[in-house]
Amino acid sequence: MLRTADLSVEKINQLLMEANEFSKGKIAKATKEIYVSNLFFEDSTRTKTSFDVAERKLGLKVVPFDINHSSVNKGESLYDTVKTLKSLGISLAVIRHYKEKFYDELSEIDMSIINGGDGTGNHPSQNMLDLMTIQQEFGKFDGLKVGIVGDVKHSRVANSNAEVLRKLGAKVYFSGPEKWFDEGTIINGTYQSIDDLVKEVDVLMLLRIQHERHDEKMRISLENYHKKFGITKEREKMMKDHAIIMHPAPVNRGVEIDGDLVEGNRSRIFKQMENGVFARMAILKNALEKRGFEFE
């Protein structure tokens, strides 16, 4: 899986259904030995660990791969690294890479590639767990109003979610510092001021400020951000009774959201993480079944 937006609505629904079944205790185990590896060229806690847990729950053989102690440090290319793993018997690789669409250069290699996040491009497994969390809450996407707030320009989470949520019938709105919304950033939604947005949305999806992708011109003081665009206790009180708050995490507590609200009644942030394991089980199983592997 490289981009969720490339999947049909039917396939998205099928993956969501299986992810939900896994969350309710369904068990699936590979009928033979399948070797998989997780290659993270950018840091990760949630995505890497939950793929690892999901792989083990499916009975897959997880081969550790530490970029920092690999021949990547000797200049070996992504292509040669992945082709080497294929030669060693790895059937599937989950890859997070700083290069947008890194997967294009791997298309000739006959193995399953799952995109664990490509630069500022897409984050399909985060998208699936976000959809799962919204569906559990509302039972539908059609007609929901979803607000995505923050560093949209640098967010692969925003890209993936906005495109797919619109495809599923939700209305997508954005808010945040205008310098993070240059021409072309908003193609799948409408900009709205934060104080109007919080009153109207069913789902408030906050984004992490991606300091590591900012040059001097993009920087904004954290205090200023919290005051102008953060979910303060005052803004949280303005939300509809049933509205929920999501964030892909890691959260900058006290910046994108008041630290106390992270564990508040509206927050689904830890639920998202929990769902991440089940969504990733469905993604992995589907990718391997497409290659003829079987599960019982």
Residue stretches of the annotated binding site: 46-47, 74, 96, 123, 126, 156, 208, 249-250
Nearer to ligand CP, 44 or 232 (CB): 44
E-strand ranges in the chain read 35-40, 61-63, 90-97, 112-118, 145-149, 171-175, 190-191, 203-206, 244-246
Contact region with ligand CP (CB under 6 A), list: 38-46, 56-64, 105-113, 257-265? 38-46
Please tell me the distance from the alpha carbon of residue 253 to that of residue 26, in angstroms, as a whole number.
35
Nearest CB to ligand CP, comparing residues 249 and 283: 249
- Residue closer to ligand CP by CB (options 115, 293) is 115
* Three-class SS state of 18: helix
Residue ranges of the binding site for carbamoyl phosphate: 46-47, 96, 123, 126, 249-250
Read off φ and ψ for residue 164, nearest 5 degrees. Answer: -75, -40
Residue 272: how many CA atoms within 13 Å on its side-chain side? 27
Least distance (Å) between residue 45 CB and ligand CP: 4
**23 interacts with ligand CP by CB under 6 A:** no
Q: Which residues are annotated as a binding site for L-aspartate?
A: 74, 156, 208
Q: Which is nearer to ligand CP, 30 or 127 (CB)?
A: 127
Judged by CB under 6 A, which stretch of 6-14, 242-250, 252-260, 279-287 contacts ligand CP? 242-250
Query: Considering the rule CB under 6 A, would residue 249 count as an interface residue with ligand CP?
Result: yes
Q: Is 161 in the site for ligand CP (CB under 6 A)?
A: no
**CB of 46 vs ligand CP, minimal distance in Å:** 4
Cβ nearer to ligand CP, comparing 169 with 250: 250
Say how far apart CA 72 and CA 255 lie, in whole Å.
Answer: 35
In whole angstroms, the minimum distance from the beta carbon of 103 to ligand CP comes to 17
Q: What is the DSSP letter of 30?
A: B
**Can you tell me whether residue 61 is helix, strand or coil?**
strand
Which residue lies nearer to ligand CP by CB, 45 or 70?
Answer: 45
- Spell out, one character per residue from 41 to 80, where the chain touches ligand CP: x when CB under 6 A holds, - when not: ---xxxx---------------------------------
H/E segment holding residue 259: none
**Total of chain residues touching ligand CP, rule CB under 6 A:** 9
Q: In what order do the strands lie in the sheet with 171-175?
A: 190-191, 171-175, 145-149, 203-206, 244-246
Kindly tell me which residue out of 235, 248, 280, 287 binds ligand CP, with binding defined by CB under 6 A: 248
What residues from 101 to 130 belong to the interface with ligand CP (CB under 6 A)?
117, 126
The maximal CA–CA distance of the chain, rounded, in angstroms, is 57
Amino acid at 129: L
Task: Measure the CA–CA gap between 167 and 170, rounded to whole angstroms.
Answer: 7
Q: Under a CB-based contact definition with an 8 Å cutoff, are residues 244 and 137 in contact?
A: yes
Give CA 156 to chain center in angstroms: 8
Instruction: By CB under 6 A, name the binding residues for ligand CP.
Output: 44-47, 117, 126, 248-250
